[in-house]
Amino acid sequence: MVTALRPKSGPARSYQFPKFHSEVLSDGIRLLVAPVEKLPVVTVLVVVDAGSSNDPIGKEGVAMLTARALLEGTRRYDGAKLAEKFEQLGTSLDSGADWDSIFIKITVLSERLWAALGLLSEVVTTPVFPEREVERLKAERLAEILQIETEPRALADERFESFLYAEESRYSKPDGGSAESVSRLSRADVEQFYRSRFISGATTVILTGDVQPDEAHELVESAFGGFPTGSTPAQPLVVAPRSGARNVHIVSKSGAPQSELRVGHIGLPRSHPDYFPTKVMNAVLGGLFGSRINLNLREAHGYTYGASSYYDWRRGPGPFAVATAVESDVTALALREIFLEIDRIRHEEISADELSLATHYLEGVFPIRYETTSAVATALANMVIHDLPRDYYDSYRRNIRGVTVGSVLEAARTHIHPGELQTVVVGDAALIREPLAELGAGVVHIHDA
């Protein structure tokens, strides 16, 4: 039969994150080029410092709407024609906004790069935001908001953030805006947002794959010529907790067969110096299949299909959360285990075995993450958005290896605050209300879905 002898690792081959070329073009746009010689494809990613955090008060959702409306028409082509032109080249345009940036992205066969990049630059530099299309996109966002009302996972995420952050924080409201704020947006708001944020000093163009820096330089310099120069002021972000005490919020969904759970508090900004020990700490707590929370809730108790914890890394302090969905009648039991695990990671050092599982995993999967031109482009975009050092990806694995059981405990003690945990449960209130009140996890509040 199969040998009982476990094979040993062979000698590891070295890996290097793709080398990239970086320059600032004559009009102030930053260009990054990472040639990857493997397949005849190129990804082009345009990143603009214009994320949802920059939405003016009362105009929440304008960044997202602008990102979507970019594709709806340029001076030369209407939206339908643009889609047709891109897609005849075998590429399609994706655009979106996250908290920190607007991105516009294509992946195309390298022989069609010239044509596709020309079109892409039109989208970025000469959009016209037709009234009819802006109104349609608003209506589609309203449809999306309605969908979330019946989707327990998205609803739990959204409500969790609204209970975490103070009302006046942009983070307390959905990045795409609420029904109320989106309904109020106009074409003029989109135009205004675009004019104020889409300028060369806030824009980076990234090319990865089958392309060389000199070719990219020539292409981008000519295609993006005439882009308004200058830079945008940094927008101050208000971040304060909604409550200093523990609370349990039940978002009522009668008859729900499961409770969708989120437990956490405000986390850390991406730029925090404790990023690496915190990342490893989270991997041990709930970031891996073999993490404490997943093994406890799924494998020891069978309460769930999966349980995890995460930090949502943003420029400002995004949420730290444990997320899972459990059968309704074990809701309180599952929460008890989650609280126990959160306390435990703060009270004693993790074992050397747990540390090595997390660090070996994070080190090992590093090259696997960057197999595609699209993934390499996204990594470079993150470097720009978060102002990471140029050698960030070259030193990443060394930084992971530098984390110790001591620094993990220190990170847990400093950055996890059991007294501030907010619990959100989307589930059958009639069934879970009493057990949750007995749990002592804070005052129980009941809300409509």
> Binders of other proteins among 215-244, rule CB under 8 A?
none
Q: Out of 49, 100, 122, 260, point to the residue binding other proteins (CB under 8 A).
A: 260
Q: Is 326 in the site for other proteins (CB under 8 A)?
A: yes
Q: Is the Cβ of residue 95 or residue 278 nearer to other proteins in the bound state?
A: 95
Tokens of 368: 């696997």
* Shortest distance (Å) from residue 258 CB to other proteins: 5
* Shortest distance (Å) from residue 229 CB to other proteins: 32
* Shortest distance (Å) from residue 186 CB to other proteins: 9
Site for other proteins in 129-168 (CB under 8 A): 136, 139-140, 142-147, 149-152
Q: Is 15 in the site for other proteins (CB under 8 A)?
A: yes
Span of 168-176, 212-220, 270-278, 286-294 interacting with other proteins by CB under 8 A = 286-294
* Shortest distance (Å) from residue 315 CB to other proteins: 28
Give which of 296, 389, 375, 376 is closest to 337, Cα–Cα. 296
Burial of 419 (0-12, 13-18, 19+ CB in 10 A): exposed
Give the 3-state secondary structure of residue 304: strand
Q: Is the Cβ of residue 91 or residue 422 nearer to other proteins in the bound state?
A: 91
Orientation angle between helical segments 352-369 and 405-415, nearest 10 degrees: 90
Burial of 195 (0-12, 13-18, 19+ CB in 10 A): exposed
Q: Out of 27, 312, 327, 420, point to the residue binding other proteins (CB under 8 A).
A: 327
Produce one character per residue of 22-34: b if its CB has 16 or more CB atoms within 10 Å, e if not. beebebbbbbbbb
The CB density around residue 88, as the number of other CB atoms within 10 Å, is 10
Phi, psi of 331 (to 5 degrees): -55, -50
Q: Is the Cβ of residue 149 or residue 394 nearer to other proteins in the bound state?
A: 149
The CB density around residue 39, as the number of other CB atoms within 10 Å, is 12
Q: Is 27 in the site for other proteins (CB under 8 A)?
A: no
Q: How many residues sit close enough to other proteins to count as binding (CB under 8 A)?
A: 86
Place of tokens 């008890």: 336
How many Å apart are CA 394 and CA 17, to the nearest integer?
6
Site for other proteins in 68-107 (CB under 8 A): 71, 79-80, 83-84, 86-92, 107
What would the x/- binding string for other proteins be over residues 294 to 313, using CB under 8 A?
-x--xxxxxxxx--------
Site for other proteins in 382-421 (CB under 8 A): none
* Shortest distance (Å) from residue 326 CB to other proteins: 7
How many Å apart are CA 164 and CA 266, to the nearest integer?
7
The CB density around residue 83, as the number of other CB atoms within 10 Å, is 15
Q: Is 208 in the site for other proteins (CB under 8 A)?
A: no
Q: Is 364 in the site for other proteins (CB under 8 A)?
A: yes
